[in-house]
Amino acid sequence: MQQAFCSRAAPAILDMSRTVKQRLSAVWARPDPILAEAGRAGELLVAKIRLGLAAFLLLIPIIDSVFFPLDKTETVVGFTLTSLTFLLSVIVYLAVSREYIPSWLSFATSCMDVTLVSGGLGLFLFMNEPYTAVNSKVVFEGYFLAIAGTSLRYDKRVCVTAGLLAFSEYLAIVSFTASHWDLNSPIYSPYPYGYFSWPSQVSRLIIMLTASALSLCVVARSQTLLQMATSDALTGLPNRGYVDERFAIELSRARRYEKPLTIAVIDVDRFKALNDTHGHPAGDRVLKRMASILRSSFRQSDTAGRYGGEEFVVILPETDMETAGRKLESLRESMAGTAMLTARGEEIRVTISAGLASYPEDGEGTSELFAAADDRMFQAKKEGRNRVWRTAARTAEVD
């Protein structure tokens, strides 16, 4: 009986393990390039807010030292910490405003924001105010500002990293403080925050994790809405709006880093005749098959989308004309060699015509490059279809 139970339980455990791995992979996956671009704007917004807060905090020890003289050590420590915060904020702002936003920057700045809050709490320990360090009603809330800011990066990995770091740092501060000071000693009377207790600290940690989970949900929902808004219903490929926006992003990146970029415009040959002869369900089947071949033919960094009707577009970053031509020839051969069956069991084969244009040789802007690739696609049709055209030529419209 035990052996039978194990044999039944094993597949369920394996399925559960796969599900957990898939969900973890989804959480740690790179954000969609469109969301990543939105994250760049979010990083700039956070940098501005951080700089403004740092400037305000820098004024506090200055004003205190002039109008409310305190212990010299406290003044020096407070001024040093706020000056460091302001300096880091200025450096980050200058980098982001000049579009220096490498992939690791969001991780670094989010961790910096969390650690600055922890540093503020640690300052109370340095000033021998442990009770304030673990009961602060002002500095502690800075964690939630840092965690909320991660959602503006539109990267689930940043949300997870910053949330876990905040949890770990605060737990370390509380554990260290509780083990080195008697926080309920009469010297801290009248206990303006109440008695120290671990249950209240655990509640803080749980709320912190909840805030991180909410931030993660905001980013996940943004990704879902983006996918719904930018996917072609029939093929599942990105739609025209997504392709246009992605093309602009990739072209901007190509200019910035002086890299080549190639765009391919692809059209299914004699598609109207296919629909008229075999019916629209057969045409839909062809488009779905075309989408499947496109997915398997290009890199993850490439973008293949349905531009409208039987027309498709592929964007190939860091790819010159020669390399893109070989890839498109391989795609053309795959499509020509694929036999499909209609709902009535009839075998059909279709071919494609494609035109290529490369940055910077064929143009500097998106409209100029797309027009060049589109013209060459029509030239491929004019020359007999089932071919890839790479050179400029005068074209005539083909039905």
Instruction: Indicate the residue type of 259.
Output: K
At 258, phi and psi to the nearest 5? 55, 50
Task: Round to whole Å and give the CA distance between 74 and 77.
Answer: 5
Please pick, among 43, 310, 311, 346, the residue that the annotation labels catalytic.
Answer: 310
Closest alpha carbon to 33 in 296, 221, 195, 244: 244
Residue 81 in tokens: 């910490």
- 86 touches 55 (CB < 8 A): yes
Cα distance between residue 173 and residue 132, in whole Å: 12
Whether the Cβ atoms of residue 240 and residue 308 lie closer than 8 Å to each other: yes
The secondary structure element, H or E, covering residue 314 is strand 311-317
Partner residues linked to 263 by β-bridges: 315, 357
Q: What is d(CA 137, CA 200) in angstroms, rounded to the nearest whole number?
A: 13
Which SS3 state, helix, strand or coil, does residue 396 take? Answer: coil
Assigned token pair, 156: 């689930």
Non-local (6+) Cβ contacts of 67 within 8 A are none
- Confirm if 387 and 266 have CB atoms less than 8 A apart: no
Task: With H, G, I as helix, E, B as strand and everything else as coil, classify residue 30.
Answer: coil
Q: Which H or E element spans position 85?
A: helix 72-97
Query: Which tokens hold the place of 128?
Result: 């021998």
Cβ(121)–Cβ(174) below 8 Å: no
Q: Is 333 a catalytic residue?
A: no
Positions annotated as catalytic residues are 310
